[in-house]
Structure 1
Amino acid sequence: MPLRDLLLGLVIVAIWALNIIVIKLGVAELPPLLLTTLRFILVAALLVPFHPVARHQLPFLVMISATFGTLHFALLFIGLGQAEAGTGALLVQMGTPFATLLAVIFLGERLSAKRLAGLVLSFGGVVVLAGGPSLPSPLPMALLLLSAFGWAVSQLLIKKGPNIAPLALAGWTALFAVPQVALGSWWFEHDHMSAMAAAGWFGWGAVFYTAVMSSIVAYGLWYGLLRRHPVSRLAPLSLLVPAGAVVLGIVLLGEALNAHILIGGAMVLAGVALIVIRFRALFGR
């Protein structure tokens, strides 16, 4: 990989790792579902007018908005409000093992010994994380694992669904997710106007950063790299995101690094690496 593309990949990793920290700070000033709603509104406003889709693609986009927009993002924001940023970033990586299991069950994909070992390592890592002090109750873990499951379901749907440009998919998914998440915010959260009026740099900065930097800029750059390089070359970079989030959580939020995070996190990342990385292709064999 040319040095320019490697540096670009590291910039993307930094944006996504910082995104976890930004969400954590944002939900301290804005209710999580309200923050998610505002994020979707901004993404839709910036992308939908410039990325039209065909009418027959709309039902598929509505379905994706429920699994990816609502189930994944809404639960991610809620979960990060109650868990440490680094632990949350590691748990969300379970989307890859979930997607692997769903592909085996519903798509008939073969489960090789390497991928099976990856699944065992990943789920073992979650057990280790669950035994640590980072999650004071089962609720944050359940929410974050459900968020990861929503991501996994969405990836299978996208794989089998119509071919839609990535930014069009992001924009229209956000548009259709707005009423779903807004309804949840109206039902479960209160004093929306007061919260928005009281929100400062962290709250409104989180709306901007999660919408523009993470969803539009980083994904746009990432898909550009995918057009130039095979997935096997880029997968190791994506595994740096949770590691970066753990480091940033310690540096910026004062989160503690304990044996459960080190061991459980290493198991989760090693398991995901076994699942997604084609080592022969990575080393040019």
Structure 2
Amino acid sequence: MAVRHFFLILLVVSIWAFNNVAVKWGLLEIPPLFLTLMRFVVVAVLLVPFTRITRRQLPYLLTLGFTFGFMHFSLLFVGMKYTDAGTGAVIVQMGTPIAMVLAMVVLQERLKPVQLFGIAISLSGVAVLSGSPTIPAWWVLCLLLCSASGWAISNLVVKKTPAIHPLAMTGWMALFAIPIVGLTSLSQETHQLYALSHASWRGWFGILYSAIFSSIIAYSLWYGMLRTYNINLIMPYSLLTPVFSVIMGVVILGDSMNQFKICGSLLVMLGTAIAVINLRSLKMHARFPRLRRGRSGR
């Protein structure tokens, strides 16, 4: 991997990690579904007028509007309202092994025994986290796992989507997510406009940071990397997101630490690392960078 791409990915995971802090600030003042809706409105307004899509791309973007817009973001924001930034980020990290299992089932990609072992360790970490006081109820855990599944499905859809500019994908995906997220907010929440009009800088910062930095900048860079490199080479770097999120949550938000959170987080990240990091492949990439470059299509 080119050095500039390594630092771009490091920037992406840092933006995503701090996004959990920004979202927690926003959730202090704005209902979660409405916060999600406002995020997508900002993204769509900034990107859709300047991008174009084709009829062939439309079904994929409609699918992503549901899997990424509603399943991932809406359920993540609702779950984050009831847990801390670090715990939410760790559980959503399960999207990586979930994506691998789905790739095995849907795309017929084979998983090695060591990868299955890693996935099992990650699941045991979720079981440990379920006993943490930072997860107040079983349904909060289920919401976050469904959010992780939405992220996993979306990554598979992106790999199958006809060539499309990352900014166009981000903008139109946000546009197609607006109706379902908006209707859900309308039916499940109240006083949304009042909350928005009385929000302080924290509420608006949560919306704007999540929309501009996390959506437009970070996800555009991420999709670009997925187009350039093999998904199994990119995925391991996402392991840094929950690590940074836990640290930022403790330092900035004053989140607490307990044995369930520490042990569960370590198991999830260790298991995911075992599942996605191919040591033999990494050694080959390190020894033969030109060979790697040819395989990645660069």
| TM-score normalised according to structure 2 size | 0.88
In structure 1, C-alpha distance between the alignment counterparts of 2:197 and 2:62, rounded to whole Å? 31
SS where residue 55 of structure 1 aligns? coil
Compared with structure 1, are the counterparts of its residues 30 and 244 closer, same or farther at alpha carbon in structure 2 (3 Å cutoff)? same
Provide structure 1 residue ranges, at least 5 long, that are not aligned to the other structure: none
Q: Is 1:232–1:282's contact at 8 Å kept on the other side of the alignment?
A: no
Aligned residue in 1 for 2:150 = 150
- The superposition leaves residues 172-231 of structure 1 with CA deviations (integer Å, 9 ceiling, x where unpaired) of 110011111011111111112211111111111111101101111223344555677666
How much has 1:123 moved relative to structure 2?
Answer: 0.4
In structure 2, C-alpha distance between the alignment counterparts of 1:224 and 1:148, rounded to whole Å? 21
Identity of aligned residues (%): 47
Aligned residue in 2 for 1:49 = 49
What pairs with 1:81-96 in structure 2 (closer than 5 Å)?
81-96=81-96
Aligned residue in 2 for 1:65 = 65
Return 177-186 or 226-235, whichever deviates more.
Answer: 226-235
Return 4-13 or 254-263, whichever deviates more.
Answer: 4-13
In structure 2, C-alpha distance between the alignment counterparts of 1:242 and 1:117, rounded to whole Å? 21
What pairs with 1:194-233 in structure 2 (closer than 5 Å)?
194-223=194-223
Return 269-278 or 81-90, whichever deviates more.
Answer: 269-278
In structure 1, C-alpha distance between the alignment counterparts of 2:7 and 2:212, rounded to whole Å? 20
Compared with structure 1, are the counterparts of its residues 10 and 280 closer, same or farther at alpha carbon in structure 2 (3 Å cutoff)? same
SS where residue 163 of structure 1 aligns? coil
How much has 1:151 moved relative to structure 2?
Answer: 1.3
- The superposition leaves residues 7-43 of structure 1 with CA deviations (integer Å, 9 ceiling, x where unpaired) of 4443332211100111111111111111111100111
How much has 1:107 moved relative to structure 2?
Answer: 2.3
One-letter amino acid matched to 1:27: L
One-letter amino acid matched to 1:262: I
Aligned residue in 1 for 2:35 = 35
One-letter amino acid matched to 2:246: V
Aligned residue in 1 for 2:293 = none
In structure 2, C-alpha distance between the alignment counterparts of 1:107 and 1:8, rounded to whole Å? 28
How much has 1:4 moved relative to structure 2?
Answer: 5.2
In structure 2, C-alpha distance between the alignment counterparts of 1:219 and 1:105, rounded to whole Å? 26
Compared with structure 1, are the counterparts of its residues 268 and 37 closer, same or farther at alpha carbon in structure 2 (3 Å cutoff)? same
In structure 1, C-alpha distance between the alignment counterparts of 2:106 and 2:226, rounded to whole Å? 26
Pair 1:185 & 2:188 matched? no
SS where residue 102 of structure 1 aligns? helix
In structure 2, C-alpha distance between the alignment counterparts of 1:26 and 1:97, rounded to whole Å? 29
Q: Is 1:232–1:281's contact at 8 Å kept on the other side of the alignment?
A: no
Return 256-265 or 32-41, whichever deviates more.
Answer: 256-265
Compared with structure 1, are the counterparts of its residues 218 and 160 closer, same or farther at alpha carbon in structure 2 (3 Å cutoff)? closer
SS where residue 246 of structure 1 aligns? helix
Provide structure 2 residue ranges, at least 5 long, that are not aligned to the other structure: 288-298
